[in-house]
Chain A
């Protein structure tokens, strides 16, 4: 497995963030905004590298620090992107930010999707709600290396059409003929001509063959639960299925204690786990 790359986190002072600035804010849905940012230190920005699935901590100094999946792909060298749902104290403060505002970032952290082990395989991606953020990074990364993989199928679901993020990217994925992409909503709308139905159902309807295929899912717990059931019904084995976990985190480097599930820390042993790894953990999600 991968170890934490040292580039973005100060190994000598792991809790000290790097100064960064917001370059663009995109209103994705009524409650989700995407923030593009750059490190103020150009050398740090140039040296920054990560892999899809890794996470970062964004601070508003004075309000606090929160953990987010990096939603941009590694090939995007101009900025780092976090998509933030407004839910708590820090995310509400982040939603007040606009381009030019100063923040601080610690990234990357955690173990990424083991993409290099997926060469030559077919890939199925199933994302729901804000859980699509790390999968956006992953899907864009797979498309950057399109030749390395077989068939790529992706489903992205939200409650209503207004809750779907990444409008521009969705349009591109729908248009491309080297990825089978379906956006779906739990309940439609007069203007919605797309699919209506929950993510696990759509995954089943695509009936991806399990042989030589890897499935990746991230989203609300109930969606993950039923998607795992659907994938197992389709014949996927535990080590062919990957997901990313979320836990309340503070330090991000395996010291502060709170994100453990059994002996594993989501911040350093995860957030990416295979279903096999996950089932070996005590049931405390």
Chain B
């Protein structure tokens, strides 16, 4: 296997960022001591290869808010007309330091926003996704909120990554998954190494077998949903932290009264207004209804439509929930019903 020394990582990042390419990497957030987020890397700044990021890597592909197009109302010869300016898609080039839970969520997002078989392409997502190299840090340790061992190959999953870095003494073993990864390990920054891959973390698990049908059977058991969502504040943090949640809102912003832009931003099915209709009718008026939809989308609806569970066990929703809601306890309560 190939090996890269810890102190060669900055040079790897410099190489990746050559030619003005954007490299997203885990970095301590501005004005923060211990909050680590994915952000575009700036030469000379440290990256956090040992920390958990508080939010997932999805912002590299779906920014919290993005402009879809600009518009202006123009007056020519007394006649008004509209001008539309579609946003030029940005390009990303490298996502460095994703975890397996981030990388495998990309497959779900790709299926929706950048489907291989054609259909609708989302230009913003497609621009950032095409040509993106994903360099993943494998996890040899985990914390009490991690539960990715519940899904597929767990911490050994390679889906979504181009290159996987396994932490070993003084550096990382590098395992290419795709051609882009193979090309990278041929760089001089990497040397051959006799070391074996380290033992990977073994996380907590939830049982997902049969969940898709079980959820439908229990859909009308409102007491269950009220009980499991009792602590939930409906704040939506879980959706924002999630690598696979992707729901969005669309809205217009004016600047002056002749021009403006149409934007989209992250949204959450936990918000009351998400499904509120103009008539005042809301199909999901209670937190229990909305939490049920969150669980249903991840473990029943998305699997029914796309064959994949829309949760990668990253545990961010558990670590960050201000009310202490734990999705694993919810799934266990459902499975025990």
Contacts and interface: CB of A to CB of B under 8 A. Distances in A.
Contacts, number: 125
Interface string B59-103: 000000000110101000000111010100000000000000000
Interface in A242-285: 246-248, 250-251, 253-258, 260-263, 282-285
Contact of B248 (A11, A88, A250, A262): A250
A32 B249 CA distance: 27
B269 A61 contact: no
Main secondary structure, interface of B, reads mixed
B183 interface: no
A253 B119 CA distance: 10
A251 B69 contact: no
A129 to B, nearest CB: 11
Main secondary structure, interface of A, reads loop
Interface in B91-147: 112-113, 119-123
A211 interface: no
Given A14-B120, A87-B278, A256-B267, A19 B84 contact: yes
A12 interface: yes
B252 A64 contact: yes
A63 interface: yes
Contact of A88 (B123, B257, B278, B304): B278
Interface string A21-55: 00000000000000000001000000000000000
Contact of B119 (A11, A88, A251): A11
A11 B120 contact: yes
Nearest to A63: B252
A16 B269 CA distance: 24
B264 A15 contact: yes
B252 A61 contact: yes
Contacts of B267: 256-258
Contact of B297 (A59, A255, A260): A260
B16 to A, nearest CB: 29
Contact of B275 (A88, A248, A262): A248
Q: How large is the interface on B (under 10, 10 to 19, 20 to 34, 35 or more residues)?
A: 35 or more
Given A14-B121, A65-B252, 18 more contacts: A14-B122, A15-B122, A16-B86, A59-B262, A64-B252, A87-B279, A102-B73, A102-B80, A250-B248, A251-B248, A254-B112, A255-B122, A257-B247, A257-B269, A258-B274, A260-B301, A262-B300, A284-B284
15 contacts: A13-B123, A14-B120, A15-B69, A15-B262, A17-B84, A59-B252, A62-B254, A65-B252, A102-B73, A102-B82, A104-B82, A248-B276, A251-B250, A255-B122, A284-B284
Given A248-B275, A255-B112, A263-B301, A104 B84 contact: yes
Contacts of A230: none
B196 interface: no
A247 B123 contact: no
B277 interface: yes
A205 B285 CA distance: 37
